[in-house]
A and B are shown apart, each in its own frame.
Chain A
Amino acid sequence: MARITASVFTSHVPAIGAAMDMGKTQEAYWQPLFKGYDFSRQWMKDNKPDVIFLVYNDHATAFSLDMIPTFAIGTAAEYEPADEGWGPRPVPKVQGHPDLASHIAQSVIQQDFDLTIVNKMDVDHGLTVPLSLMCGEQDPKTGSWPCPVIPFAVNVVQYPVPSGQRCFNIGRAIRKAIESYDEDINVHIWGTGGMSHQLQGARAGLINKEWDNKFLDLLIENPHGLAKMPHIDYVREAGSEGIELVMWLIARGAMSDIDGPAPVPKVAHRFYHVPASNTAVGHVILENQ
């Protein structure tokens, strides 16, 4: 049977990808940020999964205002890095896992969550920056990501976006789905995006370190309580685009302690840094016990 062994939480700021692509990671501005991922890159090598289930948001890339799915699961065999206006990021194609993805889609829909099934889409920085952060630089032609990835896109662009509770609950359904897959494989679930994020208007650049760190505390210790936090709290405290953080609850909801007798997961790594471009960066790795 397939199992989830760990969850990874990280910001996915586009400037981080640009810094890597342009060889700026050792500059004074970026060095402290990338240092926070040194542990994570080694951890990825030591704990290589068979599949990554990667929760992220599409930034008006695969989905325009023509179609706005609340939850979309990628069931394709591969995904091209998108041209977001600067040209595509020079990173490898992302290989999918159509068999497991289709299995999860069927199971989660049968658990009463409506997913949009996507067989063709390009993936933007929301998906490729976390892979770059965790796996390091990869040559676009000769390199490759360590394993197949199942993209799971959440609408956090057009309101109303799904509540924290709904995200948490869908994470629980995803765990059940993965555990009902017959093949004996090791899956990581990643929640990405967010930490203080106000990208617009006169309030741009809002950073609330205290709130962000409290969020990380609650994510680890009291996710059931955190799931009840209303959207408006994210907006007032962490910025209008701080709402991206609801996606972290999907990954947390998929951990063993949520519905079972398992202990709280082990915190393998925790990191927080300001600034990365306009925002804060948060990062946690949790291991099921």
Chain B
Amino acid sequence: MALEKPYLDVPGTIIFDAEQSRRGYWLNQFCMSLMKADNRDRFRANERAYLDEWAMTEEQKQAVLARDLNWCMRTGGNIYFLAKIGSTDGKSFQQMAGSMTGMTEDEYRAMMVGGGRSAEGNRYVGEDGDAQAHRQPQGAAGAAGNTNKEGN
């Protein structure tokens, strides 16, 4: 009997289940390595060479080099692990999360100060909330062609 996965129809969301975990094992282990200052230095000095030490797929490496966290997530990354790439870059968690929406940093921060994103229209795929795929990108960063064309 198939496993129950009721979370597959939540828009703009990838749940890190066993399938994602298998896909992303080496990508996430690479992220863990950035908890050591020496490794952060080596990564900063030559990102490509450092990534080549890991059994990641070429697509995962490209996603990391592009700092496209949505792309990293699609290839099995988990946000708690990916955060270590952002911290290596000196970014706050808000900057990292914001980068996944297609908004600029200011746009995203303003949304949060204004009370955050509404759950209305964002509970199921196919509704009309701002996290739905047909409403991406959400802001000027995405409009400039940077990120999140698929809304995940």
Contacts and interface: CB of A to CB of B under 8 A. Distances in A.
B99 to A, nearest CB: 9
A15 B84 contact: no
Contact of A203 (B6, B13, B32): B13
Contact of B122 (A64, A203, A274, A280): A203
Given A64-B28, A201-B152, A278-B112, A237 B119 contact: yes
Contacts of A64: 28-29, 32
B10 interface: yes
Contact of A158 (B18, B70, B73): B18
B133 interface: yes
Interface in B1-57: 6-7, 10-18, 21, 24-25, 28-29, 31-32, 34-37, 40
B79 interface: yes
Contacts of A277: 92-94, 97, 112
B21 A200 contact: no
A200 to B, nearest CB: 4
Classify chain B's interface size.
35 or more
A159 B37 contact: no
B52 to A, nearest CB: 20
B32 A60 contact: yes
A278 B86 CA distance: 15
Interface in B111-139: 111-113, 115-119, 122-124, 131-133, 136, 138
Interface string A46-68: 00000000000001110011100
Nearest to A156: B80
Contacts, number: 168
- A interface majority secondary structure: loop
| A65, A277, A280: residue with the most chain B Cβ atoms closer than 10 Å | A65
| B37, B73, B119: residue with the most chain A Cβ atoms closer than 10 Å | B119
Contacts of A87: 37
A60 B83 CA distance: 10
A126 to B, nearest CB: 10
B69 interface: yes
A14 B28 contact: no
Interface in A198-252: 198-209, 211, 231-232, 235-237, 240-241
Contact of B70 (A157, A201, A280): A201
| B14, B35, B84: residue with the most chain A Cβ atoms closer than 10 Å | B35
B90 to A, nearest CB: 8
Contact of A60 (B28, B102, B152): B28
Q: Which 6 A-B pairs have the closest CB atoms?
A: A207-B116, A85-B87, A202-B12, A203-B12, A203-B131, A202-B151
Interface of A: 14-15, 18, 29, 59-61, 64-66, 82-87, 157-160, 196, 198-209, 211, 231-232, 235-237, 240-241, 274-275, 277-278, 280
